[in-house]
Amino acid sequence: MHILHLDSAVTGEESISRKLTADIVAKLKTDNPAATVTYRDLNEGVPAIDTDWYKAVRLAPENPTAEQQKLVATSDAYLKEVQDADVLVIGSPIYNFTLSAQLKNWIDQIARAGISFRYTEAGPEGLLKGKRAIIAYSAAGTPIGSEVDFASDYLRHMLGFLGITDVTFVAADRLAMDRDAGLARAQEAVSALAA
């Protein structure tokens, strides 16, 4: 088993989602001692897609400039980490009712027509099949699955769009209302994760 461990919280050591992703990876490694891990901290910076990215990556010119080659290489590196993984452990702190900008940028980098998904006569088909995703969801005041949670359905949809349909959420939510109860629910969910 190869695990891709992604964090995106801006709060450093204070981060609940970072603690949860670490706990999830530790649980998976306990259950699978031979498991390997690739770690990426998205808070270190994931370039947002823009016109230059579109011209380099989506249009894929025959003779790309050095800058275009760099943009393609960056996007390819993010995508290869996902392609090589059996399990994705994704930290998703909730900021202003949705996922972090860094995590959204990462999704934009890996959503590549013809590589991670394709359009067919029957509709879109995800090409990153056979993988599992475990999302560490942390929120001070946004209950997971509520009408003001604009992150969990989006993440489930986008992962499914890319072919990753086995998605589990480990939620530490409503922490501002009852921190201890939120953390206890999350730890129970981590303990219950099947290998």
Q: Can you tell me the distance from the alpha carbon of 5 to that of 172, in angstroms, rounded to the nearest whole number?
A: 18
Q: Which of 146, 165, 175, 195 is nearest to 15 (CA)?
A: 175
What is the arrangement of strands in the sheet containing 166-172, beginning at the earlier edge strand?
36-41, 2-7, 87-93, 132-138, 166-172
Q: Can you tell me the distance from the alpha carbon of 151 to that of 142, in angstroms, rounded to the nearest whole number?
A: 10
Which residues define the annotated binding site? Answer: 15-17
94, 149 in Cβ contact below 8 A? yes
46, 81 in Cβ contact below 8 A? no
Which residues define the annotated binding site for FMN? Answer: 15-17
